[in-house]
Amino acid sequence: MRIALGLEYDGTAFSGWQSQSHGNTVQDVLEKALGRIAEAPIRVACAGRTDAGVHALAQVVHFDVAVDRRDSAWVRGVNSHLPPQVAVRWAQPVAADFHARFSALSRSYRYVLLNRPVRPAVQNGRVGWCHQPLDFSAMAAAARLLLGEHDFTAFRAAECQAKSPVRHCYRADVTPEGDVVTFDFRANAFLHHMVRNIVGALVYVGKGKHPPQWIGELLAGLDRSLAAPTFDPAGLYFAGVEYAPEWGLPAPPGIIIRP
């Protein structure tokens, strides 16, 4: 039997999603908790891996299991064995050919940036921070240049293992509200560090270091060394996954993140 789960987590204390020998990853603690309910080892596959310090509001995973359990066991039962920073939101059986990663049509990320002179305290680890005033109109104009299909080599981490750097970006919005700026991105898939590298470049535009068209020049130049440094992981949230309706999975929750 194949089961799909919806998951949220605060990534601050974890070394990312992917399992590692020390065991301090989201995948590690989830598989351990699932194993307690299944009374057997469990391996999961996720819709999109997240790095150390990155959070998730609507991660989707699937796993195969031989025992029959109620859906509530995969939610409340698993949650009773998870650390407080990780929670299963929903669980349901899916067809054997469903795959959390390969069945996804698109993924969404949100980056939350605190833009004020003083660093965050209560929201430390959950928002990025820029103390300099930013030109939001310039940033929004720059973000629009990311829409469509492009080679995103300029925003790709050196250790990225994707076979192709070409991605289709469906959404790239910059929305200021008070001293908080949210960046919303949706694409068919993302490269390693792609969102954090894009946010870093957009912040450079907002600071006035480059005009909005610089983003287009970076895309055309295909040179990561010419772009801005990778931005802080703290403000990044894996916000949701889009699947075809026939899979019958719950829609991603509304995004509410406010310092």
Which entry of 10, 28, 51, 232 is annotated as an active-site residue?
51
d(CA 160, CA 167): 14
Q: Which residue has the tokens 């898939």?
A: 189
Which phi and psi angles does 168 have, rounded to 5°?
-110, 115
Q: Could you tell me which of 242, 232, 217 has the C-alpha nearest to residue 51?
A: 232
Q: What is the CA radius of gyration of the chain?
A: 19
CB 210 within 8 A of CB 204: yes
Q: Could you tell me which of 123, 113, 16 has the C-alpha nearest to residue 59?
A: 16
What SS3 state is found at 251? Answer: coil
Nearest-10 Cα torsion for 258, 15, 1, 93: 0
d(CA 174, CA 223): 24
**Is 64 assigned a catalytic role?**
no
Helix (H), strand (E) at residue 206 = helix 194-207
Q: Which residue has the tokens 């192709």?
A: 164
Structure tokens, 255 = 């995004």
Structure tokens, 28 = 């590690």
Q: ∠ CA(225), CA(161), CA(197), 5° rounding?
A: 40
Structure tokens, 108 = 């969404």
Known catalytic residues are 51
